[in-house]
Structure 1
Amino acid sequence: MKLLVPFAVLALLQLSAATRVSMTVEVPQQLGRALLSEKDHKYAVDDKVPLWASKVGPFTNPSETYEYYSLPYCQPKEGVKHKLLGMGEVVDANRMASTPYQLQFRKPRTRELVCEQPLDQEKLAKFRKAVEEDWYFQMYYDDLPVWGFIGKMEKLFKPGGVTEFKYYLFTHIDFDIKYNEDRVIEINVSTDPAEAVDISENVTAVTAKFTYSVKWTPTTTKFDQRLQRYERFPLNPVHLEIHWFSIINSCVTVLLLTGFLATILMRVLKADFVKYSKDDPAMDEEESGWKYVHGDVFRFPPYKNLFCAFVGTGTQLFYLALFIFVLALVGVFYPYNRGSLYTALIVLYSLTACIAGFVASSYYRQMEGELWVRNILMTCFVFCGPFLIMFAFLNTVAIVYRSTAALPFGTIVIILLLWSLVTIPLTVFGGIAGKNNRAEFFAPCRTNKYPREIPQLPWYRTTVPQMIMAGFLPFSAIYVELYYIFASVWGHKVYIIWSILAIVYIILIVVTAFITIALTYFQLAVEDHQWWWRSFLCGGSTGIFVYGYCFYYYYARSDMSGFMQTTFFFGYMAMVCFGFFLMLGTVGWRASLMFVRHIYRAIKCE
């Protein structure tokens, strides 16, 4: 096992290098000096700083992105070249293509002509569709992002109640760049509406003159502070204050509720301990409540193979989230660090696969399972299987749309190799280590040979109502934060308040554990000893609430539309919520197991 991690890291580095080669084309030799300067971000006067075009697409549909030259823009005379991209950047739908704009360092330009582009009916239709759907373009200059809109649409009201739409294409771009000595600090892009070309439906053909201007301005901002403007962009001070107030209000409400329930539960338990600790034969004959099922409470659950696979995968996802938070809090995921979060998720998920295999196989052995090979295989596919099926469907949709959200064939091969050569072997090795683990399942009470019959329970004590009650309180703890996360993942906001998110995550774990413990106690108190699956389902029910919030966000808080965006949103969120279900279900079950062991260890059970 000690030799496995270095091997996995080496394999990841080789796969990352292979990914870069498979997804790019060779950059011409004349750009060599510029690329070397671009790496250290230091330039001399008149050095060429490449402007890379990343993508275009509807502003309201962040997942529906296309290559920049899918629109008939002017192309460089030497041909379109592509920048080397890492795996995370490609997964983030970036495709860096060279542009004809000449933005030499500290060299101003005034109304430079890029090209004169004849626009026939086909090209006009493409631009008109882009303007109608409010398309934007995204570019990168010295790793700094810039955005701009393709054009604008105006609504004209004519006599007689007739409405006419006019479409205008922006043909002039103003680049306002700030520098500090030999460094680029800031870049802003603006389009000039006065330079727009009419491309309305009554226009049959037109020749558009694409021009640009460049303005250089010195600044005292240091290079290591140039990304702070993007950190301030998502939330102004007023919104940040409201955000903090909402989080504190949510935390206080949840803590008061949990404290209230904890007080009641502790008092009831104290009374139970006093009652059950008395050595009274008459009371033993009339005993009822959770002590009555002591001979069945540690009876292993049905479908323990699937149960252990769920617990192992949920444990892996729990540690994966912890590692992501650690990287975020130390500043790895700064704004517009293209694809860094996706790269971290892919790599860490692969490296933490051994946790899933070990935990699943260890518990399966403790539960006296015999089909341990099937258990390891189920652990490998219980989350990845549905995810790969969903990815195959959504990637096919993106290919049909010719979107940059579709991963290239080489990238898919690399990810599959990463999964088959790193993730699965680590899961298998972890499973073997868990199988050979000599720990025995600790149960303070002996289990009866035959299970006791569960009494008839009212409807509100059945599984579904209990899941609704269990999921509501943790969901209320994260409800406020969900909007900002969704606006970042499925919008154009930037999430940078990782400290708040870490606090909310801790509260989510604590509340999930506590509410599941409380419901487990109430379940045992009515002599229902089948708490294993119930505790897992109740703990994971918050994932169902989050998926329900997805419908509210999509239809009430966003402007997303179209088949591709809809399938991407609900498809990938289904996988995220399934991961939430596994992770929080594991938390709920582990907390309930500790609680059940504690209360039955504290009393005499013959």
Structure 2
Amino acid sequence: MASDVRPRHPLLLSIWICLLASLARAFYVPGYSIKSYKQDENIPLLVNKIYSDNTQLQYAYFDLPFVCPPTGSKHHDSSWASGQSLSLNLGEVLRGDRIKNSDFEINMGQDVECAYLCDRIVNGHDVEWAQQLIEDGYVTEWILDNLPGATSFVTVDRERKYYAAGFKLGYKDYDTTTGKPTYYLNNHYTMVVRWRKAPGSAGDNGGRVVTGFEVYTKSVDRGQRNETGCPSDLDERPNPLPLYIAPNTTDLSEQYPDSSYIPQAKIDLDQVFMNIPYTYSVYFREEKEIEWANRWDLYFNDQAESNTTHWLAIVNSIIISSILGVVCMIIWVRTTSRDTKGRGDGLLEEATLRPKRRSEKKTNGLLEKEGQDLMVDDLSDDEALEDVSGWKMLHADVFRPPALAGLLAPLVGSGFQLVCMIGGLLSLSCLGVLNPSWRGGFITVGVFIFFFAGGVSGYLSARLYKTFGGQNYRKNTLLTALLFPGLLFSLVFFLNLFTWAQASSTAIPFTTLLVLAFLWLLIQLPLVHLGSHYGFYRSKGYSHPTRTSTTPRHIPFDNTTWYSRNRLLLSVLAGLVPFAVLFIELIFVFKSVYLDKSSYYYVFGFLSIITLLLAITIGETVIICLYVQLCAENYHWGWTSFLTGGSSAVWIFVYLNWYYWTKLHIDGFVSSLLFFSYGVLACLVYGLATGTIGFLVGYTFVRRIYGGVKVD
């Protein structure tokens, strides 16, 4: 029967994607229970860490030598002592969180004009470090009722208000007379807690919920203070507190009494000290316009202006995908419709050519046949397909196992494991399950999805390995379970040596590394083994529509084009197309991860649509590249499809380098090492996932066109 293949028009696909795009904004599930507070009930203020856009190193707040250390005391109605660490989930530890209770006394509804916290005595080394942290633009993160302390902003038209998580550790200014930089430390904190009546019966009983937490900072000098330790001129504009220790020149002037020039004094940083007083104020303000369920919206309001750009990114992706879709349709029509009219189509091994009258002489044992019907089974392969050209001539070689098949199968298995992880994370984020209120939830869920997807990884890897003719089942299982996770674990451990040396909270604790090793070796490894055993022994290898000849066919590279001869260059250049689909959304991701860490990236609806379009574009690109390669009579399509699918990772890494040199201001060897190492790791994860998509699409395409249709 002739084929009646009718590919769907790309316009229909675009319409469906536009309908899905109406759900682009990921909604927010704030939690399962609302915490309400009664009048005068204590609200714990938690301190976490400091971080900067100009460096990759974070530090725990209580590890700073110039802040007030915890006293260990408890608040009047709280069971938590200051300095007590909270139990953190895996994601919080991996992202560098170190959350502890503080000595700040905050009680619902009680305004505090000014409260004294402590006087911190620091030496010269501590002052220099504080200056360096301010120079690097470090931001402090505090947490109240699971809300990060925010710096409040308003839009230019003053119609909307939005938050940026965290507040500055201090600021830098220049002396008007000398022009030298002076650093000022913020040592007074004005906290504004916004609340409203709790919903339901809790509100009827006097319960209140927190809907906002704003922190305003001041630098206040050690000037005149009252008996409580607070400055008397706090309501006015106080003099700031400079981080500066004046050198002692008394001894030098005595040493050079008759000299008009006194040399610059050398400061022994261990022997000079500075007193830093800390105070704070608390104000409660009722906020009736914001519901508790919507209290995180202010942290996302700054992203509302970029919605138009996100839509443009989607339109751009649809246009690129549609153009490639038209090309793929033309290829599909050529391979399934027009070619059915010629010889050698259909199931090339099984289809029978129509009888025809031929006159042949006796050659190589064949009888001379005059005026007789000659069937294809009576001829050799070359004679039967003598008028077939292009991709159809490869039917006996196209399913030949690729070179290094024992490596390709584990890579595809690991890549599919990553695809499962990425798909699960995007789905849960779009449903609102993974949101900023679940601190560390995104990383925690991602780690567990990755490890528990090991069974699927082992199954796919083993079945492909069996299809490729592999026999060493145990070797394939170990490569699948250990290759990528082992590389990941080794790189993280190596980078940890540098962050440990810097005493940074970015360093993963040794116990957490043991937990990750436990999950890897005692959960993922057995699951990979079970999946691999089932895929190798309980499942058959993927069947192919044509048989493979024993002798490989010669590939005619002499008269082919450059893109047929150089498959690697073709794959790398083809990666520009998926990169063009992802590029605009990548700008927002990089901005949130590197350039503005105080903002939250929470437009996973847009990202999910872009990811879907990216997968479609990768598939279309792979189909086009494979068709070009097969028409050039080159049957080595296995690695080409994998590399073409993942080659956009090369361009992402190029863009990452450009971003580093032109947009960021990262200083220091360790920070640069972390930036590029984790950048390479992210590109590797992306490349494995998209390379797997490319291979599976290419494998399906090759199986389909060589399966063909039978001719009447």
TM over 0.5: yes
CA deviation vs aligned residue, 1:375-414 (integer Å, no higher than 9, x gap) = 0000012211211111011111110111101111111111
Instruction: Supply the distance in 1 between the matched residues of 2:710 and 2:569 (Cα, whole angstroms).
Output: 33
1:585–1:273 distance in 2 versus 1, CA, 3 Å: farther
Aligned pairs (5 A) from 1:417-432: 417-432=518-533
Residue 257 of structure 1: how far off its partner (Å): 2.4
Residue 364 of structure 1: how far off its partner (Å): 1.3
Aligned pairs (5 A) from 1:577-592: 577-592=683-698
2:47 — aligned with what? 53
Q: Which moved more, 1:458-467 or 1:375-384?
A: 458-467
Aligned pairs (5 A) from 1:393-432: 393-432=494-533
- For 1:258, which of 324, 340, 350 is the aligned residue? 324
- For 1:311, which of 396, 403, 412 is the aligned residue? 412
1:42 — aligned with what? 36
Matched, 1:489 2:593: yes
3-state SS of the aligned residue for 2:194? strand
Instruction: Supply the distance in 1 between the matched residues of 2:120 and 2:628 (Cα, whole angstroms).
Output: 74
- For 1:243, which of 305, 310, 314 is the aligned residue? 310
- For 2:648, which of 536, 542, 547 is the aligned residue? 542
Matched, 1:522 2:628: yes
1:561 — aligned with what? 667
Matched, 1:148 2:254: no
CA deviation vs aligned residue, 1:394-443 (integer Å, no higher than 9, x gap) = 11111011110111111111111111111111111111111123324321
Residue 68 of structure 1: how far off its partner (Å): 3.5
Instruction: Supply the distance in 1 between the matched residues of 2:65 and 2:301 (Cα, whole angstroms).
Output: 32
Instruction: Supply the distance in 1 between the matched residues of 2:54 and 2:314 (Cα, whole angstroms).
Output: 27
2:65 — aligned with what? 71
1:173 — aligned with what? 189
Cα contact 1:173–1:211 (8 A) shared by 2: yes
CA deviation vs aligned residue, 1:562-601 (integer Å, no higher than 9, x gap) = 2222222221221221122222112111111221122222
Matched, 1:459 2:565: no
Instruction: Supply the distance in 1 between the matched residues of 2:436 and 2:239 (Cα, whole angstroms).
Output: 32
Instruction: Supply the distance in 2 between the matched residues of 1:430 and 1:63 (Cα, whole angstroms).
Output: 39
3-state SS of the aligned residue for 2:647? helix
Q: In structure 2, give the amino acid aligned to 1:294.
A: H
Matched, 1:231 2:257: no
Residue 348 of structure 1: how far off its partner (Å): 0.6
3-state SS of the aligned residue for 1:386? helix
Matched, 1:471 2:515: no
Number of corresponding residues: 562
CA deviation vs aligned residue, 1:303-349 (integer Å, no higher than 9, x gap) = 22111111111111112211112211111122242100110111111
Residue 39 of structure 1: how far off its partner (Å): 8.3
Q: In structure 1, give the amino acid aligned to 2:574.
A: A
Matched, 1:196 2:299: no
Instruction: Supply the distance in 1 between the matched residues of 2:676 and 2:60 (Cα, whole angstroms).
Output: 20
1:332–1:559 distance in 2 versus 1, CA, 3 Å: farther
1:111 — aligned with what? 114
2:135 — aligned with what? 132
Instruction: Supply the distance in 1 between the matched residues of 2:321 and 2:639 (Cα, whole angstroms).
Output: 27
Identity, % of aligned positions: 25
**What is the CA RMSD across the aligned residues, in angstroms?**
2.2
Q: In structure 2, give the amino acid aligned to 1:244.
A: W
Cα contact 1:67–1:404 (8 A) shared by 2: no
Q: In structure 1, give the amino acid aligned to 2:111.
A: P
Bigger Rg over Cα: 2
Cα contact 1:46–1:105 (8 A) shared by 2: yes
CA deviation vs aligned residue, 1:473-508 (integer Å, no higher than 9, x gap) = 111100001111122233413111111111111111
The structure in which a higher percent of residues are helix is: 1
3-state SS of the aligned residue for 2:43? coil
Instruction: Supply the distance in 1 between the matched residues of 2:50 and 2:65 (Cα, whole angstroms).
Output: 9
Runs of 5+ unmatched residues, structure 2:
1-31, 73-81, 150-165, 198-207, 220-237, 248-271, 346-352, 359-382
2:280 — aligned with what? 212
Residue 553 of structure 1: how far off its partner (Å): 1.9
Q: Which moved more, 1:460-469 or 1:176-185?
A: 460-469
CA deviation vs aligned residue, 1:529-563 (integer Å, no higher than 9, x gap) = 11111111111112222222211222223233322
Q: Which moved more, 1:93-102 or 1:423-432?
A: 93-102
1:292–1:240 distance in 2 versus 1, CA, 3 Å: same
1:564–1:68 distance in 2 versus 1, CA, 3 Å: farther
Residue 62 of structure 1: how far off its partner (Å): 4.7
Instruction: Supply the distance in 2 between the matched residues of 1:423 and 1:91 (Cα, whole angstroms).
Output: 19
1:272 — aligned with what? 339
2:233 — aligned with what? none
Instruction: Supply the distance in 2 between the matched residues of 1:62 and 1:104 (Cα, whole angstroms).
Output: 35
Matched, 1:184 2:228: no
Cα contact 2:245–2:274 (8 A) shared by 1: no
CA deviation vs aligned residue, 1:173-205 (integer Å, no higher than 9, x gap) = 100111113211111001124453111364764
Q: Which moved more, 1:183-192 or 1:40-49?
A: 40-49
- TM-score, normalising length from structure 2? 0.75
2:103 — aligned with what? 100
Q: In structure 2, give the amino acid aligned to 1:396.
A: L
- TM-score, normalising length from structure 1? 0.88
CA deviation vs aligned residue, 1:268-305 (integer Å, no higher than 9, x gap) = 43443433357478993232211111111111112221
Cα contact 1:471–1:545 (8 A) shared by 2: yes
2:157 — aligned with what? none
Residue 64 of structure 1: how far off its partner (Å): 3.5
Higher relative contact order (CA 8 A, sep 6+): 2
Instruction: Supply the distance in 2 between the matched residues of 1:123 and 1:589 (Cα, whole angstroms).
Output: 55
Instruction: Supply the distance in 2 between the matched residues of 1:175 and 1:336 (Cα, whole angstroms).
Output: 20
CA deviation vs aligned residue, 1:337-378 (integer Å, no higher than 9, x gap) = 210011011111111010110111112122221101000000
Matched, 1:372 2:499: no
Cα contact 1:354–1:429 (8 A) shared by 2: yes
1:303–1:464 distance in 2 versus 1, CA, 3 Å: closer
Instruction: Supply the distance in 1 between the matched residues of 2:668 and 2:171 (Cα, whole angstroms).
Output: 21
Residue 165 of structure 1: how far off its partner (Å): 1.1
Cα contact 1:68–1:137 (8 A) shared by 2: no
Residue 263 of structure 1: how far off its partner (Å): 4.3
Cα contact 2:193–2:283 (8 A) shared by 1: yes
Instruction: Supply the distance in 1 between the matched residues of 2:319 and 2:675 (Cα, whole angstroms).
Output: 31
Instruction: Supply the distance in 1 between the matched residues of 2:417 and 2:334 (Cα, whole angstroms).
Output: 35
3-state SS of the aligned residue for 1:167? strand
2:606 — aligned with what? 500
Cα contact 2:57–2:499 (8 A) shared by 1: no
2:703 — aligned with what? 597
Q: In structure 2, give the amino acid aligned to 1:199.
A: L
Instruction: Supply the distance in 1 between the matched residues of 2:397 and 2:465 (Cα, whole angstroms).
Output: 19
Instruction: Supply the distance in 2 between the matched residues of 1:215 and 1:555 (Cα, whole angstroms).
Output: 43
1:48–1:39 distance in 2 versus 1, CA, 3 Å: farther
Instruction: Supply the distance in 1 between the matched residues of 2:469 and 2:696 (Cα, whole angstroms).
Output: 18
1:18 — aligned with what? none
3-state SS of the aligned residue for 1:190? strand
Cα contact 1:179–1:218 (8 A) shared by 2: yes
3-state SS of the aligned residue for 1:285? coil
1:88 — aligned with what? 91
2:12 — aligned with what? none
